[in-house]
Amino acid sequence: MNKHPFDQALRLEAAGSDRPNTWLGASSPAYWNMVGPFGGTTAATALQAILLHPSLLGEPIALTVNYASAMAEGPFSITATPVRTNRSTQHWTVELLQADASGAEGVVMTATAVTAARRETWSANDTPMPAVGFSDALPRLRFGTVEWTNRYDMRPVRGMIPQVWDGAGQGGEEGSLTQLWVRDEPPRPLDFPALTAMADAFYPRVWLRRATRVPAGTVSITVYFHADSRQLAQGGGGHLLGQARGQHFRNGFFDQVVQVWNQAGALLATSSQMVYYKE
Nearer CB in complex with its own copies: 41/115: 115
Q: Which long-range contacts (CB under 8 A, 24 or more apart) does 245-248 make?
A: 245/173, 245/174, 245/176, 245/177, 245/178, 245/205, 246/175, 246/176, 246/205, 246/206, 246/209
Nearer CB in complex with its own copies: 8/270: 270
Contacts of 204 (CB under 8 A, 6+ apart): 216, 275, 277
Q: Per DSSP, what are the bridge partners of residue 274?
A: 220, 255
CB 12 within 8 A of CB 78: yes
Q: What is the CA radius of gyration of the chain?
A: 18
Binding site for its own copies (CB under 8 A): 61-62, 64, 66, 68-69, 83-84, 86, 89, 91, 93, 95, 106-107, 110-112, 114, 116, 118-127, 171-173, 175-176, 209-210, 219-220, 222, 224, 226-228, 245-253, 255, 257, 259, 267, 270, 272, 274, 276-279
Enclosing H/E stretch for 221: strand 216-225
Closest approach, Cβ 105 to its own copies, in A, equals 11
Enclosing H/E stretch for 46: helix 39-51
Closest approach, Cβ 41 to its own copies, in A, equals 19
CB 41 within 8 A of CB 31: yes
Nearer CB in complex with its own copies: 149/262: 262
Nearer CB in complex with its own copies: 18/173: 173
CB 190 within 8 A of CB 233: yes
Closest approach, Cβ 52 to its own copies, in A, equals 20
Nearer CB in complex with its own copies: 263/270: 270
CB-count burial class (<10 Å; 0-12, 13-18, 19+) for 255: middle
Closest approach, Cβ 207 to its own copies, in A, equals 12
Nearer CB in complex with its own copies: 120/136: 120
Closest approach, Cβ 23 to its own copies, in A, equals 19
Cα→Cα distances 26→10, 78, 143, 233, Å: 8, 10, 25, 27
Nearer CB in complex with its own copies: 217/238: 217
Closest approach, Cβ 240 to its own copies, in A, equals 15
Closest approach, Cβ 75 to its own copies, in A, equals 19
